[in-house]
Structure 1
Amino acid sequence: MKENVLDVLMYLFETYIDADEEPEPNQNVLRGELVRAGFGSTEIDRALDWLDGLTENHDSLAFHPQTDSSTRVYSDVERERLDSHARGFILYLEQIGILSPTQREILVDRLLALESPDIDVEQIKWVVLMVLFSQPGQEMAYARMEDLVFEENTGLIH
């Protein structure tokens, strides 16, 4: 079975998003469930590391406060991994109020951590959901993003 880290993350997200269980399962429980679901140990380890990165203290992400006329300038590495369509979609999410500048930086960090050679808009949508879900007080932004992920007409205009 050939999966990537995002497949493992999406499985976990879809499995535990509606779970009423508290507290969250520990990594050994998650690892066991993922093995039973057929995922490989390398992808499991990478996905669990990715989740650790999502919940780490993101105060170390350096960015300057934005003004209304500010523009996010992507580095060469970021532009290489996030094509113009992906960067445009991220900008669109900021413009409609789903992502704050801090959340955008967390999103870019987590997208690059996927180590996927090509990152598309569908992948971005799922990672945005995970970022918003991991942050308290983001229920409205999460609900709006969930509508974008599951809407039938994917022809968004931005």
Structure 2
Amino acid sequence: MFEVLVFVYENYWRGDACPQPEQLGRKLSAQGFDAEEIRDALRWLDGLSLATQGVQLARHADEATATVTLHGIGDAVLPQSPDSMRVYSMAEQDHLGAECLGFIRFLESSGVLPAGMREIVIERAMATPGDPLALDELKIILLMVHWSTGIEPDALVLDELCDDTTDRLPH
């Protein structure tokens, strides 16, 4: 499924540029993807579309941080307090694993993953198979959430999400 998501990310500039699911399914099939992978990816993309439907981005005056505002059916979700802490359920801990949870925390503490977007990322990560989720798969999910919302990630974040760290030497 993740190979299909990467193909979609690389070939469609934004989520709103992506064709309808039926047409996308035909294009993916023509590219040689397995029918089951296509079905899983289309189902996942449909859930992503629903999750990001009411997302709005607001930049603070200093332009260094962003706030993601989620709108439900007529009501805005209250923003997270700076003193609050996200507590992960056992199912989330098991599915995401320590490496993914640490990466999410790193992005949060860096100010590049607002609480609203974090919740979308976690919800979409929980909709994927496999325990625990691999860090590379979480990075794909993060890219797809940005892609779907039209919120372009910071250049350093994009580099972190797309960088292959297997050849990186630790200092």
Task: Tell me the TM-score normalised to structure 1 length.
Answer: 0.79
Taking the aligned partners of 2:100 and 2:117, their CA distance within structure 1 comes to 15
**Which residue matches 2:42?**
48
**Runs of 4+ residues over 4 Å off in structure 1:** 152-155
Match of 2:4 among 8, 21, 42: 8
Cα RMSD (Å): 2.6
CA separation in 2, counterparts of 1:78 and 1:23? 31
Instruction: Say if 2:124 is the partner of 1:110.
Output: yes
Q: 1:149 aligns with which of 139, 161, 169?
A: 161
Percent identical across equivalent pairs?
33
2:11 aligned with 1:28: no
Q: How many residues align?
A: 145
Structure 1 residues 64 and 88: alpha-carbon distance in aligned structure 2, compared to 1, 3 A threshold: farther
Secondary structure at 2:113's aligned position in 1? coil
Contact 2:121 2:141 in 1 (8 A): yes
What is the Cα deviation at residue 77 of structure 1?
A: 0.6
In the alignment, is the contact (CA less than 8 A) between 1:128 and 1:145 conserved in 2? no
What is the CA-CA distance between 1:31 and the residue it aligns to?
Answer: 0.9
Deviations 1:53-94 (A, max 9, x none): 11115538xx87432232211111101111122111101111
Pair 1:17-2:9 in alignment:
no
Query: d(CA) in 2 for partners of 1:124 and 1:57?
Result: 16
Q: Considering fraction of residues, name the structure with more strand.
A: 2
Change (3 A) 1:144 1:76: same
Cα gap change, 1:44 to 1:26, in 2 (>3 Å): same
Q: Structure 1: state its 5+ residue gaps.
A: none
TM-score, structure 2 length as denominator?
0.73
* Cα 1:125/1:48, change in 2 over 3 Å: same
- 1:66 and 1:26 map into 2 onto residues whose CA distance is 34
1:124 aligned residue: 138
Counterpart amino acid of 2:36?
T
